[in-house]
Structure 1
Amino acid sequence: MTEPLATHSLPVETVTAETFAPFGVILRPMADGTPFTAEEAVLDVSGGIPRFYLMSLDDKAPEFTRVTRHLETTQTLMAVGDVEWTIAVAPPGIDEPRLDDLRAFRIPPRTAITMRKGTWHAGPFFAEPSMDFVNLELDDTNVSDHHNFRLDDAYGVRVVVA
């Protein structure tokens, strides 16, 4: 019989440009004609064919046992509609994220995030029964560039975003 997993509670903070900087950038609406910004410069889909699509997700309770990273592309996510959501991340550049590397961010309505190449992530998480997200990555990201790290195997925990 397998031992039950311990619960690791991960507090949620509202995202800001400064707190999210180690993981990527946040994008908020700007006036048409606004010059190119450093926040947009992190986007890199040069490693293949860009895929821009609407991703539909169901029942994303705020808990996880694994994190994922993409080494060949950035990933941009934004909820469709005027709703908030949450994502958990750990910094790029580490092969095995520790529990204290994890941070959870509340993403307000009308806000997108672009995660740097290699940023570990779990989510998006949300309270609705289902949600749609705009997703920009590469056409084969989930096939050839989907690297997982199992927190349950490594640390015997399931992470609950609180």
Structure 2
Amino acid sequence: MSQSILRQQHGHRQTCSLHAEWITPEKFQSYGQLITPAEDGQTFNQEDAQLDLTKGTPRFYIMRLHHRGRIFHKITRHNLCTQCLGSLAGKDWFMVVAPPSAASQPDITKMAAFRIPGDCFIKLEVGTWHAGPYFGHEVVDFYNLELSDTNVVDHFTHDFLKSHNLEFEIV
């Protein structure tokens, strides 16, 4: 993995620790874009979210998530659209990503964990593997831009607990 990993045994299950780095545009570019505030009146450019929502009806909504912690064993990708996520109320959060691929599971060695401040959002490239959002707050509202049927027809998930007896913890 691109970040340090510590392995611990829990019975037969292994837990790998992923060290979360603060997100930057450069560190995140293999997975998507980091979008930060820009002055009003600027014309569209490469720093704006480069969206692909052409294969369906876009859906923009506020997703309320309750305490998620930082442990996971499933990772997902969407092949038909980009996806944008950002927290409301300035709350920081975490996302684990792996580069886009058509494989049935991501390349574990290329997984990365990011800490994302509450004053920006991320755009995931089509096919980017992602786990999250995760956070330590009790409740966080996220805005989410994807297609109206993304979670029905474009939701490919890999379960590391089933395939590798493995879970991850974001540290």
**Alignment TM class, shorter chain as reference:** over 0.9
State the alpha-carbon separation in 2 of the partners of residues 46 and 40 from structure 1: 17
CA contact (8 A) 2:98 2:112 kept: yes
Gap runs ≥5 in structure 1: none
Find the counterpart in structure 2 of residue 136 from structure 1. Answer: 145
1:69 aligns with 2:81: no
1:15 aligns with 2:35: no
1:42 aligns with 2:50: yes
1:78 aligns with 2:81: no
1:105 aligns with 2:114: yes
State the alpha-carbon separation in 1 of the partners of residues 142 and 166 from structure 2: 28
State the alpha-carbon separation in 2 of the partners of residues 41 and 128 from structure 1: 27
Secondary structure of the corresponding residue to residue 18 of structure 1: helix
State the alpha-carbon separation in 2 of the partners of residues 107 and 37 from structure 1: 22
Q: How many residues align?
A: 160
1:154 aligns with 2:160: no
Q: Please list every run of at least 4 consecutive aligned residues from structure 1 whose deviation after the TM superposition is greater than 3 angstroms.
A: none
With the length of structure 1 as denominator, give the TM-score of the two structures: 0.95
For 1:24-63, what aligned pairs fall within 5 Å after superposition? 24-63=32-71
CA contact (8 A) 1:24 1:42 kept: no
CA distances 1:80-99 after superposition (whole Å, capped 9, x unpaired) = 11111110000002512132
Gap runs ≥5 in structure 2: 1-10
CA contact (8 A) 1:70 1:147 kept: yes
State the alpha-carbon separation in 2 of the partners of residues 47 and 63 from structure 1: 32
CA contact (8 A) 1:59 1:130 kept: yes
State the alpha-carbon separation in 1 of the partners of residues 112 and 131 from structure 2: 10
CA contact (8 A) 1:78 1:134 kept: yes
Find the counterpart in structure 2 of residue 117 from structure 1. Answer: 126
> How far is the alpha carbon of 1:63 from its aligned partner?
1.1
CA contact (8 A) 1:86 1:123 kept: yes
Q: Which stretch shifts more, 139-148 or 149-158?
A: 149-158
CA contact (8 A) 2:91 2:140 kept: no
RMSD over equivalenced CA pairs, Å: 1.1
Letter in 2 for 1:13: E
